[in-house]
Amino acid sequence: MHGKLMTISRFITEEGRKFPQATGEFSDLLEDLALAAKVVSYQVNKAGLLDIIGHAEYENVHGERQQKLDVIAHEAFIKMLDHGGHLAAMASEESEEIIPIPDQHKIGNYIINFDPLDGSSNIDANISVGTIFSVHRKISAGERGTEADCMQPGNKQVAAGYVVYGSSTMLVYTTGHGVHGFTLDPAVGEFLLSHPYMKIPERGKIYSCNEGNYTYWTEGTQKYIDFIKSDNPDLKHPYSSRYVGSLVADIHRTLLYGGIFLYPADRKDPKKPFGKLRLLYEAAPIAWLIEQAGGLSCDGFGSGILDLVPTSLHQRVPLIVGSREDVIEYRDFIRKYDRK
Ligand code: P6P
């Protein structure tokens, strides 16, 4: 037996003892999340067999055709989380409005923003997909949670993380005391601690972005990408390009191997001037997680992601995130070429 097998429940409890201010309620919420992740993992891994691949009958709130697994994941997280007594409201990518806690259930002191199944357009190609979640304390006065509780800046998060449904299912989270990774052992149905205190390398050798959008990026972003693809002697080392097109898969690799992930603002679609990714349940949790692992994040316009004050539930934001030295180098190009 390699070292002691630490389940996520035991780890959360032991970590909770180190930080007495963390209430038991908070630990229970994380355990509910882990349970929901097991349910979704089972569905995702069985997708091909249970004929739930392919488009659902209708489109989601953003006019995107909703994959059946999207719907299953969305409903699984709601069903697993709405009766634990820890939440006052939820917000999901798949729901235009916030999701209230049913009348018959106890209302708690936290809210959760989540993307139930990010990257779902890749499901048919059997590419890794993921769930992303962000937890805040309720701040509104009334009993029930409100949009204002969900629309807090990333620097107010109390927990954030993702589940990556890949060759194995992993849950990676932070509560502000480091980043910890757990791998699901299907035999026992437990998430076991496999990556304690994860740290992102100071600098990586991989850049990750959709270069098909190059024409639409700002000059600073274009010059940065040109630089890391060049043989400029100022370059610390050559870079490789890796882009899955599934946010959780690209971020998980960036966390483990280092480097930089970019979904910058682009002028491709005037309706989406800030790129494709959402602030509340994609960029903010990812940015906090990477910063907790020693990395950096920015929006390409001079702000850190965690300082952005949300203005709408599903607002989009550019996301540049990764190894400290790589993000600092990117910011230098933005400062040099984009500051008018
Ligand atoms: P593009 C998947 O659809 C997703 O929402 C993220 O998971 C991913 O990072 C991004 O879109 C990919 O977008 O425009 O490069 O295909």
Q: How far is the CA of 244 from the centre of ligand 1 (A)?
A: 9
Dmax (CA) of the chain: 65
C-alpha 95/C-alpha 315 separation (Å) is: 13
From atom 10 of ligand 1, which residue's Cα is the shortest distance away? 245
pLDDT in tens, 195-228: 999 999 999 999 999 999 999 999 999 999 999 9
C-alpha 163/C-alpha 42 separation (Å) is: 13
For range 251-259, the mean pLDDT = 98
| Inter-residue contact 110 to 149 (CB < 8 Å) | no
By the 10 Å C-beta count (0-12 exposed, 13-18 middle, 19+ buried), 153 is classed as middle
What's 55's DSSP letter?
E
From atom 12 of ligand 1, which residue's Cα is the shortest distance away? 245
What percentage of the chain reaches a pLDDT higher than 90?
76
pLDDT at residue 70, rounded to an integer: 85
pLDDT at residue 295, rounded to an integer: 98
pLDDT in tens, 1-48: 445 789 988 888 888 777 766 656 677 888 899 999 999 998 888 765
E strands, the chain, in order: 55-59, 65-67, 87-92, 99-100, 110-118, 129-137, 159-165, 169-174, 179-185, 190-195, 206-208, 240-241, 260-263, 296-298, 319-322
pLDDT in tens, 19-31: 766 656 677 888 8
With a 6 Å cutoff on the Cβ, whether 214 touches ligand 1 is no
- In this structure, what are the phi and psi dihedrals at residue 308, rounded to the nearest 5 degrees? -70, 130
C-alpha 139/C-alpha 146 separation (Å) is: 9
Q: How far is the CA of 250 from the centre of ligand 1 (A)?
A: 10
With a 6 Å cutoff on the Cβ, whether 32 touches ligand 1 is no
pLDDT in tens, 88-130: 999 999 999 999 999 999 999 999 999 999 998 888 888 999 9
C-alpha 20/C-alpha 303 separation (Å) is: 33
pLDDT at residue 98, rounded to an integer: 98
* Confidence check: pLDDT of 174 > 70: yes
pLDDT at residue 1, rounded to an integer: 41
Higher-confidence residue: 157 or 52?
Answer: 157
> Which is the closest atom of ligand 1 to the Cα of 118?
7
Q: How far is the CA of 193 from the centre of ligand 1 (A)?
A: 29
Candidates 275, 278, 252; CA nearest to 91 is: 278
With a 6 Å cutoff on the Cβ, whether 206 touches ligand 1 is no
Looking at residue 151, its amino acid is: M
State the SS3 of 234-265. Answer: CCCCCCEECCCCCHHHHHHHHHHHCCEEEECC
pLDDT in tens, 273-303: 899 999 999 999 999 999 999 999 999 999 9
pLDDT at residue 130, rounded to an integer: 97
* Confidence check: pLDDT of 259 > 50: yes
The whole model's pTM is what? 0.94
pLDDT at residue 118, rounded to an integer: 95
pLDDT at residue 126, rounded to an integer: 87
pLDDT in tens, 50-70: 555 555 556 667 777 666 888
| Inter-residue contact 11 to 175 (CB < 8 Å) | no
